[in-house]
Amino acid sequence: MTSVMKHHFTNPPIKIEVFFYLCYCKQNCSDVVEGEIIMKIIDLHCDALLKLWEDRNRSFTNASKVETNYERLRKGNVKVQLFAIFIEPHFSSDIKFQIALEQIDLFHTEIIEKHENIKKIERWEEVDKLEEGEIGAVLTLEGADAFGNDLTKLRTFYQLGVKSIGLTWNNGNLCADGVGETRGGGLTELGFEVVRLNNDYGVWTDVSHLSQAGFWDVINVSDFPVATHSNSMTICDHRRNLTDEQAQAIFKKNGFIGLVFNPPFINGKDQASYDDIVKHIDHFSALGGVEHIAFGSDFDGIINYVKNLEHAGKYQKFINHLLKYYSEEEVKGFAYENVFNKLSRL
């Protein structure tokens, strides 16, 4: 624990709004112990669409292999879930747009249409209009490979409701290099144009998989830079994590970092604990980021797990552990409000 957070060990009384969530979750959050605090969650990244696309027999309602299925989202009190469109890099470039459209179709037919209280978020202000018991669902795109150099296809994604775009996965493409590309190049002219279009459409530019050079190019151009699923490289030296300089650059642009629950990015091992995540929270907070920390689980895209955080249904256990170290207001920020409070600028 760093000294910056030591004064937050005393938890304040439960507020009326939290009591309201306790009443709501009594029937939906079966793992919650009486007296525990329940908080809304915004999760910035999952790969459920890929799992549904890979096996059309999987049910989003309750399939055990879908870590962010409907029942688990309700159990974990996830208020807004971002669903990434992701195409594996081995697919031919001429079919990637079609695969992306198929995943978007599954988003509508399997997630939205079959669950009346899951609402598609097409404008950020709609998050504030979600009613009690409703879950907001947001489309995102992980990798510009899905549209290549065709800006008409990109605009189609905007029109279909995509609200966050990561230019790359780990590989390079026509827009930029990812962290796994040995060349380590920055943005191409096409990449710069995509970021400017994101600005025009009020869409986040996600830096989580970008090369170092690409990251700084985005910071210089993007109005809405975010890292939806990354941790601190100082705490865990992995190429997918952020340096202190990168984290502070995101904070200065009023962006946020979604902590990812993949143990290799947390402690470099196959399993991690809640306290291993706390180390990343402490470090980002010490850098001035307490109001810029969020969660981006990467559920359905990982194969190793944090103990007692194997799926979205475990979120409230994790939240109540964080309350041992941070104030209620700070944990509410990490869970929901840090992101929610920044949506107004979009």
In the three-class reduction of DSSP (H, G, I as helix; E, B as strand; rest coil), residue 36 is classed as coil
**pTM above the 0.85 mark?**
yes
pLDDT at residue number 344: 73
Q: CA nearest 209: which of 267, 134, 140, 150?
A: 140
Residue 4's pLDDT is: 36
Tokens of 250: 């995101």
Structural contact between residues 218 and 178, judged by C-beta atoms closer than 8 angstroms: no
DSSP state of 230: -
Residue 16 has pLDDT above 70, yes or no: no
Output the CA–CA distances (angstroms, integers) from residue 183 to 117, 189, 212, in the order listed. 46, 17, 11
Q: For a pLDDT cut of 90, what percent of the chain falls above it?
A: 89
pLDDT at 33: 54
In CATH, the number for domain 3-345 is 3.20.20.140
pLDDT tens digits for 264-306? 999 999 999 999 999 999 999 999 999 999 999 999 999 999 9
Q: Is the pLDDT of residue 11 over 50?
A: no
Per-residue b/e over 54-87, b at no fewer than 16 CB within 10 Å? eeeebebeebeebbbbbbbbbbbbbbbbbbbbbb
> Tokens at residue 234, please?
């100082």
Which residues, in sequence order, are CB contacts of 92 under 8 Å at separation 6+? none
